[in-house]
Amino acid sequence: MALENLISISFTEEELTQLDGHLAGIRQLLQGKTVNLTPDQRRQYGRIANQNKLIVDKAKNYMEQHPDWIPRFLDKPEFDSDYTAREQVEGRVQLLENLTQQLVDTKTLLDHDNYTNALSFYRMMRFLAGENEPGAKSVYEDMRVLFKNTPTGDAATEKKNQNNPKPS
């Protein structure tokens, strides 16, 4: 019985060149306009939740209606600039996150297909090594070390990995 192939795609060299060019263009356009926070800084500043977005929106609305009520120490033009830039970035972040998830999901299926086929090949090498096929034993022994994580040997690990594949 043939293995189920979950996905089959390919990219031409031209498509990869275009994709890499677009990604490089995005990176170049964002250079000097984006930041990389440390993990500690991410924890410190967090992410604004939907409820807090409503607070920001409501405050902006009231500042527009009642400019005399804005505290003197608050830089309203900077607030407006940050607000506009945040709106501009948010839509693009959502698009990029969607595209990233699509790529990750595609890679997951490709990994699964490759891993399933690699296990089939390994099982064939184990069989051929048992049948004394010339050269098969060295291939089997070389691959067998990758299944060394269980005390019962490669068959148990192979079964576990086949049921719960975790390719990276």
Sequence spans of domains, the chain: 38-163
Locate all alpha helices (DSSP H) within the chain, ordered by sequence. Answer: 13-30, 39-45, 50-65, 76-130, 136-144, 154-163
Share of the chain above pLDDT 70, in %: 88
pTM of the model: 0.75
User: Distance between CA atoms of 106 and 14, rounded to whole angstroms?
Assistant: 20
* Per-residue pLDDT at 4: 87
Select from 114, 140, 115, 138 the least CA-distant residue to 125: 140
The band of 156, judged by pLDDT with boundaries at 50, 70 and 90, is: low
Higher-pLDDT residue of 167, 48 = 48
Segment 84-96 shows an average pLDDT of 96
Give the chain's mean pLDDT: 90
Does residue 167 register a pLDDT over 50?
no
* Per-residue pLDDT at 136: 97
Contact 25, 32 (CB under 8 A): no
- Predicted confidence (pLDDT) per residue in 42-65, tens digit: 999 998 888 999 999 999 999 999
Helix (H, G, I), strand (E, B) or coil at 167: coil
For 96, 110, 140, 165, the CA distances from 160, given in Å and listed in that order, are 35, 20, 18, 8
For 52, 85, 95, 157, the CA distances from 90, given in Å and listed in that order, are 15, 8, 9, 44
Contact 132, 121 (CB under 8 A): no
Q: Report the first-to-last Cα separation within the chain, whole angstroms.
A: 26
User: Distance between CA atoms of 111 and 167, rounded to whole angstroms?
Assistant: 6
* Per-residue pLDDT at 168: 43
- Where b means 16+ CB within 10 Å and e means fewer, 17-29 reads eeeeeeeeeeeee
